Every structure is written in structure tokens, then in C-alpha cells.
Amino acid sequence: MSREILPPARVLVTGASGLLGRSVAQRLADLGYQVTTFQRSASGVVGARDVRGSLTDDDAVAQAVAGQDAIVHMAAKVSVSGRREDFERVNILGTEKLFDAAWGAGVENILHVSSPSVAHAGSSLVGAPAGPPDPQHAEGHYARTKAEAEVLAQARGSAGVNVLIMRPHLVWGPGDGQLTKRIIDRARCGRLPLIGTGAPLVDTLYIDNAVEAFVSGLRRLPLIAGETLVVTNGEPRPIGELIMGIAAAGGAAPPKLRVPAALAKAAGLAVEKIWAFSERVTGPHQDEPPMTKFLAEQLSTAHWFDQRRTQQLLDWTPSISIDQGLARLGSHIRSTGTVL
């Protein structure tokens, strides 16, 4: 008998108010899974049961995990700025509460969503495997706390729960209010510089491919538990070419300003300090700093990953190329007037 997790299995998706979480939850519901979503606001997933709440709320978490066959854990605090304790509360303590509740409810299968940044200390990654999470050397509060959460997830896997860790890399496409919208908005305003030469190779993940990868990961979870997989399109492109492609899809002129990488990193570090001081005085900002050291490193160093093992274990290959994704993004923006 197959050990795959198949419909009508009961699946909890945390963080389903974000693009990736919502899209994965909707795809699972469309395939016949009994989907419950858990987030602060309505998910908008048709056919799913919404449980609203926070990962820091024991009662809400217990309600969400009760009766589930599997969990796809995507909820996280994602930002390039903010207080360490805010990231800890969601990314570390929230993950711990979720795993504790899952253990108590007898949930045996957890797909834990992480990030390649947990193993990136700033140097170039060229055809790299999924390295071990490194809370000490990862850059920024988000990456460090996600690294600690991944260590926690690995430990629970060693204790008998089926845990698969997947690290999507730079998800973009229609509906993405993070990477895609920010590139286009800044390009339209003439505030999108290219850092360094724009030549380092970077791989990304188109949203539709990400959804199918996660569905495959959930389905095969009991068969490949214990693995840590970086997931990308498998098409490394020069970072400058990719940024200009996304900007062009949004009808923006290509960036003309170039900033040396060393200068951008120094400026990013200075901006972080000013931003942190301002937040202590006036409270959290609604937006994010225009540059940070981590962002400057991401835009000026190569980071792409060997996808052979990922595709083999997931029994999955990307169906939409980067060029096809850019065409779809452009068509979406022209027809709707927005990335979202």
C-alpha cells in the first residue's frame, strides 16, 4: 500500500494569508484534500476551513492542529528589519508551540518551510547543496531565527515525527507583494540601482512551480522525511538580467544607476543602524529600509543550488521557465493593472 499522503487527507497550512501559503492551500483544496488554514486574517482559500489566530496562542494552535494528518508550516515573520524578539516570538517560539501541539495531537507528518538564507553567511553559493542551518553566522534576525527554527524541526524529526524541510529560493510572480512588487515599484520610481556588476548568477522560483513542488513534497513526505531540500527553477540567471526582466514586465524602464557592491554593503549597514535607532525612538516602521547589508550581499553575490537531488526526491520538475514566467507576469500586470 502506498505511504504517500493523498486526498482526502486532512492538511493544516499555516501562513495561508501570504501568496505561497494561500496558493498551496488552494491547490490542495482543489485536489481534494481537506484543508484547514491558520493565520491572523481570512485566507480566501475556497473550500478550506479557516482558523484565525497566532502561533503564539496555545489555544488557537491546538484548535488548528486537532485531527490533522499533516501540517505544512509556512507561517513566519519575514522582513529585513525589526526587533530580534519579534522574530523570535513567531519563528522560534511559534514553531516550537506548533510542533508541541502537533505531537500532542498525534500528527505524524510536518512539512517545515525554511529559507536558503539559514545557511548563507554572505559568501557566494555556486551549485551548492542545502547546507546545514547556521544560526550563528546567518545574516539578519530573519535568517538566524529561521535557522534556529530549522534546528528545532530537525530535532523533532529525530524524535519520531516525519519532518521534511523545504527551502524555496526567491519566489516571484503574479500576486507577489514582496520581491516582485518591490522591484517594479522601485524601478518605476527610478529608485532601483544595480548592485555591483549585476553578473553573479542567482536562481529563483516562479510561484506556480513553487506550488507544485510543495504539493509533491507533501504527497511524498513519509517517503523522504529527514531531507532538507532547496527548491528553485534550476535556471541560474545574472541578477541584473533577472531584475531588469521583472522591471520590464511591470512596464518600468531598466535601472540605470549602478552602485559598487562594497559601497552598497557599507551603506546598508549604516541604514540598518539608523533604522534600528529610529524604531526604538518612534516605534516600528510600516515600510522597510531601502538597503541593508544582507540585501546588498544578496544582490551582489552568486547564490544558486544543485537541483538534481531535489527534483529526484520530489518527483517534480519545474513546468514554467523563467522566460515563460516573465511573460505571464507581464500579461497579468497589463490585464489587471497591478502585480497583486
Euclidean distance between CA atoms 73 and 67, whole angstroms: 16
Query: Element (H or E) spanning 271, and its range?
Result: helix 261-282
Q: What is the 3-class SS of 97-126, one letter each residue?
A: HHHHHHHHHCCCEEEEECCHHHHCCCCCEE
Angle between helices 239-249 and 322-336 (to 10 degrees): 30
- Annotate 271-289 with b (16+ C-beta within 10 A) or e (fewer): bbeebeeeeeeeeeeeeeb
Q: Which residues contact 280 (CB under 8 A, 6 or more apart)?
A: none
Let me know how many helices (H) and strands (E) the chain has, helices first.
13, 15
Local structure of 153: helix, strand or coil? helix
Of the residues 142, 172, 214, 316, which is catalytic?
142
Residue 142 known to be catalytic: yes
> Would you name the residues annotated as active-site residues?
142
